[in-house]
Amino acid sequence: MPAPVNKFKARLRTGETQIGLWLGLGEATTAELCAGAGFDWLVIDGEHGPNGLRDMLDQLRAVGERSSAVVRVRDDNRSVLKQMLDIGAQTLLIPMIESAAQASEAVRSVRYPPGGVRGVGAALARASDFSAIPDYLETADEQICLLLQVETLAGAADIDAILAVEGVDGIFVGPADLAADMGHLGQPGAPKVRRLVRDLLERIRQSGKAAGILTFDHDLAREYAAMGVEFLAVGSDVTTFRDGLKTLRAMF
């Protein structure tokens, strides 16, 4: 029996747009609620969200098969990536990638030898269904989806080389940090930033890799969908909850 099929990765290859939501509250119950709302994918945010290893594990279980979980780690620390894979994450999003060399090391981190350096210990972990998947080691690499986040001028400058790295499934453009690096802190909608973001998305798609982005601007989200962006996040649990509460309070 092989490793479970990564439905998110399989759909990326079709070129269709998958609509996602960001999970920043770090709560399994919230993740379970969002998983039942019909989103194609959910980001469990370990970079800015209050999430530890067991929090991530609880949310992966809560999401289950109702949506595709994408785990954003805090950085490209190899030991952390190994743990996330072992608890059952099949799609990883790694922030702050700035070079092809860094991208190549990320690929090595998520693959077993000889193609990579992922430590062999999944027999004791959820990833292999606690050894119930006998050929997990032989089949795991094919189902791992690696998404890299480009969100600095250095990363943008090296985008073509990053895109050329074999084993990278998609590139996520981060407008907020990119805006800050461009001197527009807190202004991801600045015209100069939006032009660069659009250029990056187009270059990513032209390379044959999947392009992704998060925007809270619904008109802009529709523009990105029309472009063919393959994985598009259109909001978060935090803002949806907050805005819903404010709207309800305003009614009375």
Map out the domains of the chain as residue ranges. Answer: 7-250
Count the Cβ atoms, other than its own, within 10 Å of residue 88: 19
DSSP 165: S
* pLDDT at site 46: 97
Q: Tell me the angle at which helices 78-86 and 100-110 cross, rounded to the nearest 10 degrees.
A: 40
- Which residues in the chain come in under a pLDDT of 50? none
As a whole number of angstroms, the distance between CA 81 and CA 92 comes to 8
What b/e sequence results for 69-84 when a residue is b if at least 16 CB atoms lie within 10 Å of its CB, and e otherwise? bbbbbeebebebbbbb
As a whole number of angstroms, the distance between CA 224 and CA 226 comes to 5
As a whole number of angstroms, the distance between CA 20 and CA 148 comes to 16
Q: How, if at all, do strands 18-23 and 41-45 pair? A: parallel
| CA count, 13 A, side-chain hemisphere, 48 | 10
48 flagged as catalytic: yes
* pLDDT at site 78: 98
Query: If you search the block for the tokens 């072992």, which residue do you land on?
Result: 86
* pLDDT at site 23: 98
Query: If you search the block for the tokens 């990119």, which residue do you land on?
Result: 178
* pLDDT at site 126: 97
* pLDDT at site 250: 98
Exactly one of 48, 192, 218, 246 is catalytic; which is it? 48
Amino acid at 4: P
* pLDDT at site 1: 83
Give the total residue count for the chain. 252
Strands (DSSP E) along 12-103, which ranges? Answer: 18-23, 41-45, 68-72, 91-94
Give the residue among 139, 103, 108, 107 at the shortest CA–CA distance from 122: 139
Strands (DSSP E) along 161-237, which ranges? Answer: 170-173, 210-214, 231-236
CATH of segment(s) 7-250:
3.20.20.60
